[in-house]
């Protein structure tokens, strides 16, 4: 994030995907060679990126390790599982995200890891009661049960990191008291934080406040959006637009004459990390990693794009 402009004014309720997009775009511009469009070549991106197997790092990874001893920092990480991505991939995504952050900061542990599950959004009315038909209730219960099973299975991976001392505390995002009541009995390591997006200033259901107090869960607020990295945004960031990275072609089925990697692009996950100096409350390091899957490519070309 430090590679971007020094001052960026945002609306009070701006969503954090604005920060993500601006940060990625600024980072691309910092390392991308300056050249006119007519001088671009098919492999121009290789000058400022690194390919490791089927993974292309955009730009090449340059870790910004912390300058002070580890114990002087509070490190918070938030992992966003994106909509439409099979839950079966989450274990691998979780391990990849944690590995990238630890290497980036040059540390071996995380103080707080917050998980954002797709399709879970907080609403002040979640804790209220409303009348629904029996059929609607049965259908909703079935879907929610499958969703809960997937969430718990993912949580087990994080519990493994907790048991090894790599993650000190675990947290959730957007969970109402009803969701928490169903989730907590299924897990061994209980979340200590519930991060909620309150659109109306400080409107938090009393039932959630009381439940969180009873279960010793700290309620925090955030302004992250649900779909933090849509497919269209990803192609715009990596495509041939004036502010793009010129990695991808303009569309999946672009003609062979057009420069850039071809194929469908599918964002997989996003992770945000923040390192705060405890005694001064200063954010020393903050940034994102975003990973997308590129459709089938020719031999030797990357299919996984890490930004």
90 token code pair: 């989450």
Dump the DSSP string for 40-109: --TTGGGGT-EEETTEEESS-------SS-GGGEEEEEEEEEPTTS-GGGHHHHHHHHHHHHHHHHT-S-
Q: Is there a contact between 92 and 286 (Cβ–Cβ < 8 Å)?
A: no
What confidence tens digit (pLDDT) does each residue in 196-224 have? Answer: 886 645 678 899 999 999 999 999 988 88
pLDDT digits (tens, 9 = 90+) for 21-77: 999 999 999 998 876 555 567 678 899 999 999 999 999 999 989 999 999 999 999
Tokens of 109: 């542990």
Do residues 239 and 250 lie in contact, with contact meaning Cβ atoms separated by under 8 Å?
A: yes
Q: Please check the confidence at residue 175 and state whether its pLDDT lies above 80.
A: yes
**Pair type for strands 282-294 and 304-306:** antiparallel
Question: Which 3-state string (H, E, C) describes 31-51?
Answer: HCCCCCHHHCCCCHHHHCCEE
Give the model's pLDDT for residue 15. Answer: 55
Size of the chain, expressed as the number of residues it contains: 307
pLDDT digits (tens, 9 = 90+) for 118-152: 988 876 555 544 333 333 333 344 567 789 999 99
Among 271, 233, 259, 241, smallest CA distance to 96 is for 271
CA distances from 255 to 132, 233, 241, 260, 261 (A): 51, 21, 17, 10, 11
């Amino acid at each position: 994030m430090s590679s971007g402009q020094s001052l960026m004014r945002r609306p009070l309720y701006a969503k954090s995907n604005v920060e993500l997009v601006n940060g990625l775009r600024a980072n691309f511009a910092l390392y991308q060679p300056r050249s006119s469009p007519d001088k671009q070549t098919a492999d121009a991106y290789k000058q400022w990126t690194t390919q490791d197997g089927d993974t292309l790092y955009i730009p090449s990874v340059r870790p910004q390790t912390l300058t002070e001893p580890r114990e002087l920092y509070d490190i918070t990480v938030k992992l966003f599982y994106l909509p439409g991505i099979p839950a079966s991939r989450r274990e691998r995504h979780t391990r990849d995200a944690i590995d990238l952050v630890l290497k980036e900061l040059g540390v071996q542990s995380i103080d707080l890891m917050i998980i954002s599950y797709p399709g879970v959004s907080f609403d002040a009315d979640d804790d209220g009661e409303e009348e629904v038909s029996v059929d609607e209730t049965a259908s909703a219960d079935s879907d929610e049960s499958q969703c809960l099973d997937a969430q718990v299975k993912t949580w087990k991976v994080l519990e493994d990191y907790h048991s090894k001392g790599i993650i000190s505390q675990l947290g959730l995002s957007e969970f109402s008291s009803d969701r928490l009541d169903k989730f907590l009995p299924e897990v061994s390591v209980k979340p200590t934080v519930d991060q909620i997006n309150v659109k109306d200033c400080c409107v938090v259901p009393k039932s959630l406040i009381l439940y969180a107090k009873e279960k010793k869960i700290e309620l925090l607020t955030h302004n992250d959006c649900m779909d933090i990295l849509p497919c269209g945004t990803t192609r715009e960031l990596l495509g041939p637009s004036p502010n793009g990275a010129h990695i991808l072609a303009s569309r999946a089925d672009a003609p062979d004459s057009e420069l850039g990697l071809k194929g469908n692009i599918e964002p997989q996950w996003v992770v945000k990390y923040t390192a705060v100096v405890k005694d001064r409350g200063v954010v020393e390091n903050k940034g994102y990693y975003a990973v997308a899957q590129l459709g089938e490519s020719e031999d030797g070309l990357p299919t996984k794009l890490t930004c």
